[in-house]
Structure 1
Amino acid sequence: MTHPTADSLPPVVDQQTWQTALDDLRRREKAATRELDAIAAQRRRLPMVALPDYTLIGPDGPIRLIDVFDGRSQLIVYNHMWSDGAEWQCGGCTSLTSQWTRLGILDNYDARFVIVTNGPIEDALAYKAKVGNKMDWYSSSESSFAADVDAPPGGGFAVNVFLREGDKVYRTWHTTGRGTEQLSYTFALIDILPWGRQEEWQDSPDGWPQSPTYSKWLDSPDVARLYAHGDVQ
């Protein structure tokens, strides 16, 4: 690993000078927090789209989308990228979903979080075990569900959120790309480190360690090695 030279390190200052600089940064951080609150408020007021009665495939066979809620009113779906016959599926999806191991907190919010992929359910469940994933997986291989929520076969990943009202299901929110970063604790931790993500696109001081984008991300075999046989309950 390349370390920054002494010349590239930030200046060393006294406590008061450091505190003043931190207070200046904190004002921007607080402004960003308030803006995120405002964005969340706007998200809660988005209009909804009524969905048809989709049928997915679960570990026990066909299951209606409304039953995937498992009695809850809200459902978050991570649409996992899938390539039929591949030994390893998308490294980014595999790494991101490996973080979500303690989702019982959603119970108090009348919500559930699951993975849906376009792969056959038998292959999906085998891959889940292979990489040590702990979430509940479903397959949309026999319906148009994934295509209809912007995660078609051969396409990218997505996060979709749904609301159940009686026997009706509505689509309330969708994101993809870097929009999924807000669901990851890893980037939040890495971004507060002095060196940050160390990716070439980031604005860092001259001489700071930087690497090609994605080069430090865990790939699928890394996730399997770390978590498939570990205790990540």
Structure 2
Amino acid sequence: MTRTALPPVVDAETWQRHLDDLRVREKAATRELDAIAAQRRRMPMVELPDYTLDGEEGPVRLADLFDGKTQLIVYHHMWFPGEKWQCPGCTGFTSQFTRLEFLEQHDARFVVVTQGPIDEALAYKQRVGNAMTWYSTANSPFGTDVGAPPGGGFAVNVFLRDGDTVHRTWHTSGRGTEQLSHTFALIDLLPYGRQEEWQDSPDGWPQSPTYSRWAGSEDIAARYGTGAS
């Protein structure tokens, strides 16, 4: 397939000069991310009540979600009551996390919490082939208290456990979750990028409506789960 929109062709020396210029900005961004992470490590924290959530084997205390670890990352999965297919963004985002054992070396765990009833949530997890551990906050104010209420959007929260006491240390939502994803990082390396209309791209670059290239929940189920049945 021949495209009419192509980067200019230059000699190797010119190409290297452009790369060197870009590398200056890339290194500056890396240092800024290091500084942001350092500030995050200095954040204060908020003590939380002793919430009870629903797990695969029944009610479970928030402190037990840590499974003996000290640190916990929670992805709050959007949930629409009565819908067969849940948020495609959440479904696709969490589908990439299939090997999380490396967190054990850092005394941490990463789980999904959703507002959906646990039986429905676990059925959906199987349908789309999700590999993470799921819990439900349908019968608890936990989700509402940490920025993920019923009918609300997705979010990420981080917690620190001191014995049986759990503290909230960090929160983000929206595009703040992109830093946890390898999908956008890989796509942003491509010459044409995400190909979404909001992006700053050269004239003639392929662009589509935002989200139009994202996999739907049905697509995720067909690839990894039990399919559309």
Normalised by the size of structure 2, how large is the TM-score?
A: 0.97
Tell me by how many angstroms 1:4 deviates: 3.9
How far does the alpha carbon of each residue in 1:127-174 deviate from its partner, in whole angstroms, 9 at most, with x for none? 000000010000001110000000000110000000001121000000
Equivalent residue in structure 1 for 2:166, among 159, 164, 169: 169
SS of the equivalent of 2:76 reads strand
Q: In the TM superposition, what are the counterparts of 1:79-228 in structure 2 within 5 Å?
A: 79-228=76-225
Check if 1:46 corresponds to 2:43: yes
Q: How many angstroms apart in 1 are the aligned matches of 2:37 and 2:144?
A: 26
Contact 2:192 2:205 in 1 (8 A): yes
Q: What is aligned with 1:25? A: 22
Q: Give structure 1 stretches of 5+ with no counterpart.
A: none
How many angstroms apart in 2 are the aligned matches of 1:35 and 1:163?
Answer: 25
Amino acid at match of 2:171: H
Counterpart-to-counterpart distance in 2, 1:114 and 1:167: 18
2:63 counterpart of 1:66: yes
Give the distance between the partners of 2:123 and 2:39, measured in 1 at CA: 39
From 9, 13, 37, the counterpart of 2:10: 13
The offset of 1:55, in angstroms, is 0.2
Q: Deviation per CA, 1:200-232, whole angstroms, max 9, x where unpaired? A: 0101111010000000001100100111159xx
Q: Which amino acid aligns with 2:210?
A: T
- Separation of aligned partners in 2, 1:17 and 1:89: 48
Equivalent residue letter for 2:109:
R
Look up the SS of the partner of 2:20 in the other structure.
Answer: helix
Query: Quick one: which amino acid aligns to residue 38 of structure 2?
Result: A
- Kept in 2, the 8 Å contact 1:4–1:208? The answer is no
Q: Secondary structure of the equivalent of 2:43?
A: coil
The alignment's C-alpha RMSD in Å is 1.2
The answer to whether the 8 A contact 1:76-1:114 is kept is yes
Aligned-partner Cα distance in 1 for 2:54–2:7: 54
Aligned residues: 227
Structure 1 runs (4+) deviating above 2 angstroms are none
Partner Cα separation in structure 2 for residue 4 and residue 207 of structure 1 = 10
Deviation at 1:10, TM superposition (A): 2.1
The whole-number CA distance in structure 1 between the counterparts of 2:74 and 2:7 is: 42
- Equivalent AA in structure 1 for residue 202 of structure 2: P
- 1:59 and 1:11 map into 2 onto residues whose CA distance is 55
* Residues in 1 aligned to 2:105 and 2:206: alpha-carbon distance in whole angstroms: 42
Long gaps (5+) in structure 2: none
CA contact (8 A) 2:97 2:131 kept: yes
Give me the whole-angstrom Cα distance separating, in 2, the residues matched to 1:78 and 1:144: 16
SS of residue in 2 equivalent to 1:56: strand
Distance 2:103 2:165 in 1: 21
